[in-house]
Amino acid sequence: MNINTSRCIAVIGAGPAGIFAARELANNVHKVTLLNRDIKPGGLAEYGIYPTKHKIKEGLRKQFYSIIANENVSYFGNLVVGEKSEISLKDIRNLGFDAILVTTGAQGTKWLGIPGEDLTGCYHAKDIVYHFNQLPPYSTHEFKLGKKVAIIGVGNVMMDITRYLITEKDVEEVTAIARRGPAEVKFTRKELEYVVKNLDMDDYLAEIDRVTPLMNSLGQDPYESVKFIREAFPNADETNSDSVFRIKFLASPVGMIGNKNQEITGLEIEETTLINENGYIKARGTGRKSILDVDTVIFAIGDAIDPNFGLPSDRNEFVKNPKPRFPINGISYESFDPISLKIIEDVFLAGWARKASDGLVGNARKDGVNAAQAIELYLQTLENPPRGNTEQIESFIRSRNKRIVDKFDLNGLLVAENKIAAERGLESFKFASNEEMLSVIAHNRITINQTS
């Protein structure tokens, strides 16, 4: 077969994994239909990176819009794909695509299933991050944030939320809860620099003293952690906030305590200990419990895929083929049905849809490129002629949603937002709601029609 035959590929999700996969496929002269839940592309690159990191976001945005401008790429935003949505995965498969790449990210919510998760003041980190990054509809949702906040988790997402609470919400206290010890924290020094001057060093050193015997028994050096913290001070951001930041180690949430108004009044935690299990440091509960005086709890414990998307899932992830036909660097990008024990022949996975909460933009970009390579290997095995018809595909998609946003709409929206930013002297500007964006798009379409 001629391996240069142009095929029709659907890429569902327009974050870094999906967009960079689309670039690879389009450069191989395939016709790529890029479907996106949000109006604007970018995913966590647009709505997950801290909002003041303007240069990083703008650089990525330019790359994304350049890729979408490729003549072999069609973009359709404001379209939700799922079993209970406007268009299903089955619909997409019936449209005649030669392959489908799912890069929807982790759109589900991961919880621990402990008492009190339904109380007012209990939130998932993703919702808060989407809120301060102005992703509709989270951008207009009101979150009741108190003065004493506990964040479950010790990664960079925790640090971003801590930064937001300290600099934007002026809370009294932020306490990060770590199931394990100082040697297992996941945040980077760069993210620590934004908040380290609010860190209660006396409390931190007391925590180090408390966990030192256990760390020593595991061969860990507790003062490496102190060194790591202190090295963040020379380049640290100045702070104008009186907020106090603390980290509590060897603690696992058991449940939230509420009052008669269903508001959080405390967080019950269980003290943990650490064990070395085959070279991995793991936490184990001790049974000793206590209550922290907090009025808000935010879970920064990673994410999960959307169970209603339409693919088999297990433990917060879509199931991958355990014996991949087209592995890239030993990784399987192929969807798999564990019930029938059969490969889902034409469906591939990349980014957080393949492995939730695994790295940020760089990881997602690499994963998308690798998935495109796996798809290319698959396409070379096809003996049937190309099936998809781009005009029929677009007609069907537009019939399912009259408010579809295409690449031309995106460019007009970007011009409008940049104009407002310039007029107001801002480094960037985003419309806060889908309705505002769709209104601008509708106005642009009318203007174009009147002048053509």
Domain residue ranges of the chain, discontinuous segments joined by +? 8-107+304-405, 122-299
Q: What is the mean pLDDT of residues 202-215?
A: 97
93, burial (CB in 10 Å: exposed 0-12, middle 13-18, buried 19+) = middle
Of all helices (H) and strands (E), which one includes residue 213?
helix 201-217
Dihedral sign of CA atoms 270, 143, 85, 80 in order: negative
Distances in Å between the Cα of 355 and the Cα atoms of 15, 35, 96, 349 are 14, 20, 27, 9
Q: DSSP 3-state assignment of 391? A: helix
Q: Which two tokens stand for residue 237?
A: 């951001």
| Tens-place pLDDT, residues 120-132 | 999 999 999 999 9
Query: What CATH number was assigned to the domain covering residues 122-299?
Result: 3.50.50.60
Same fold, 8-107+304-405 and 122-299: no
Listed residue (318, 423, 268, 409) closest to 104, CA to CA: 318
Using the 8-state DSSP alphabet, how is residue 2 labeled?
-
312, burial (CB in 10 Å: exposed 0-12, middle 13-18, buried 19+) = middle
Q: DSSP 3-state assignment of 228? A: helix
The answer on pLDDT for 86 being more than 50 is: yes
The answer on pLDDT for 108 being more than 90 is: no
| Tens-place pLDDT, residues 402-443 | 899 999 999 999 999 999 999 999 999 999 999 999 999 999
Of all helices (H) and strands (E), which one includes residue 131?
helix 125-132
Is the CATH number 3.40.50.720 carried by domain 8-107+304-405?
Answer: yes
